[in-house]
Structure 1
Amino acid sequence: MLTARNKGIVDLIPFVNVHRLQPLSPDKAFELFCRKAFGPQECCPLELEKLSCDILRKCGGLPLAIVAVGGLLSNKNKVAFEWKQVLDDLGSQFRSDSHLKDCNKVLLEGYHGLPHHLRSCLLYFGFLPESYSINCARLIRLWIAEGFVPHSKRLTSEQVAEEFLIDLINRSLVQVVEMDFLGRPRYCRVHDLMYEIILRKTEYLGFSHFVNREHLNLSSKIRRISIQGSADSVLESIKDSKIRSVSLFNIDRMPNSFMTTLVDFKLIKVLDFEDSPIEYLPEGVGNLFHLQYLSVKNTKVNVLPKSIGKLLNLETLNLKQSHVSMLPIEIKNLKKLRYLAAYSLGEHGTYGRAVKIPKGLGSLIDLLKLFFVEANTYEKVRSLAEKWKWK
């Protein structure tokens, strides 16, 4: 019997029966955890049950992680205060405690075994909140905008990026959360303990930083920021930096100065406002010449400024479930646009209101994906049809 974490190795061996190990079920995970933390004849005290479940969630059903964390807790007093400290500080414990050394080593070997082009793709998960499940199509477009995906004569950038994602999944570094109806990954995430490894690497390499109310001391050398929880005073604290990417997660409110300050960062390539409370895009957004990715999905933005026609490098424009009802005529200037999504959802998840398009959209010769728009004249339909026939 041979074991391997990389499915690619298994595919090279002919005539074998492959058994792909799945994470332990919650019941089996809890049983294994209790044996390691309390001994074979003991059970979990009632006052520690919730904390035990919270700790197990970080292990994600991975037996190695459950055994390691259970061994760590077996040497702790069986009191809620100490266990809460372990839960809150698992990242630093992960680096130093002897019980977690083997688990740490295995996960680090997974990272160091990656070819260079996959390392940046994996590190990007440190840009997301912990335990965050991201839509794979969104992740792929972000990788492309960040420049992680090399040009290929044979495949589109999206196809190359999808191969990268499948490779990370086959190496057991990224977990599939949900599949689509064709059997392709739809949502994915990284294991919480792998997330700790990634955070340490991103911090050491200066790859990205996340900021919230407690973390506002930022270096002027940072290039990517993930703003989580609060956007207050964040941009003011990095006004001298050369930011390339800004993403918002779990933001409760937006200060009035945020959008006006944002357009001063002229080198920005990625603006991901999905699910954030922004209500408008400033006219100055058109001056962000290097912008390649712009998403206002599920926001209250209702109008695109005319200056958007100046974003000649824009490749992704995501307006899904925003309040935008009409595209400005200047949209036809975006010759590099590859992905344009614009619709709202109706009741029961059905498509609701479409977005009206102007004449001349057929000039977008690089467009690969367009939905869900309203073309109410023959001229508009014909320009689109001719465009697709030409491709």
Structure 2
Amino acid sequence: MGLAAGAQSPVADTMAAPAHHGSGLRISLLTCGVGDEVYETFGHTAVRITDSNANPPFDDLVYNYGMFNGYDKGFELKFMRGKLKYYVATNYFGTFMEEYYAYGRSVEEQELVLDDDKKLEIKAYLENNALPENRYYKYDFFFDNCATRIRDIFPRTLGSGFVYGDAVRPVQGYTFRDIMNKYFYDRHWTRLGVNILLGSRIDKVLTNMDIMFLPDYLRDGLAAATLNGRPISKKPELILDGSHRAPAGLNVPMIMCCALLVLTILGHSLYRLRVLGRIMNGLLLFVTGLLGCLILLMWFGTDHQGCGNNFNVLWMLPVNILLLVWRPKGIGKYAIIAIGLIGVSLVLHVCRIQGLIPEFLPLMAALVVVYISLYRQGKSKAKANRVLKQEYHDVLS
């Protein structure tokens, strides 16, 4: 909706000079809502520092750890390999807010209640981080991102008397995967894809510090934080409305995975649909084999920590892709081993060693049907070979 004539922009309201506080220094945490792009799904966070004694007439800067150069040479390859450098940059508060206003994303502000000397320590820390020689860091979504960088500022500058409050009350035993899937509730294809590629390293139960890898939980942890037993944060205030997410919608990947299972069963149950059965065999072997190769590439060929120890490779076997053009003599034994590995994978999922999403179950079941058909093929081929050998022996004798 447009603004009425003579109305003031919601962003303009946020750019008014804040009230003076002692030295004129004011520090607050900005928590930004989700956006439409995949990389905006988890929101954003930044630190605002206002100095009302500065000239002219006051400094109002935002320290933003979420910056990267999308035009950098080899950007896509660096991103895929986990070697992309992020950096901290400073923006004028008004410029920062205009972007979020333009994209309809909410912004909450949370002012810190600290002595002037503590505010100066935080400001000095951020200024030092923003220097050209210090500003860059290797981004990791779970372990080193815009929220974790800011999370670590306060214990380092405020000392041992600083304690974060509970970001989640009561503690739920969440894992990184649980939280990630919660934010992907309406992005079903993305959720399926990242759960295939992310390994068991993200399935540990999160500590209070761990869970603040996302802006919303950092906001909540800081809201209940204390310094020497005294609260340091005012209640977060909404300074820009927006970020209203749509309902979850139809889970198309789940429907398609169930359809693959039904088609696979029909193709192997009805003689008239035996061609369909062969098609489903080829499709499932190709897709799981290709995904298995991608899992290994992300595990061993990149620096993405979250892709390590990915036991999805137990049921998405890279060797499957070879079976499209090659049927080894021991195909029956291979099929039995593959079914066993699916069982092992399910046990790991049930024991929460690696998280499971519902869409995996029909895919695993469809693969079991495929492997049973391969086992039967191998058994029939072995029987035919025995008959030929016997006939050959009879002729010779």
TM-score with structure 1 setting the length: 0.27
Larger Rg computed on CA atoms: 2
More helix by share: 2
Q: Comparing both chains, which one has the higher relative contact order based on Cα–Cα distances under 8 Å and sequence gaps of 6 or more?
A: 2
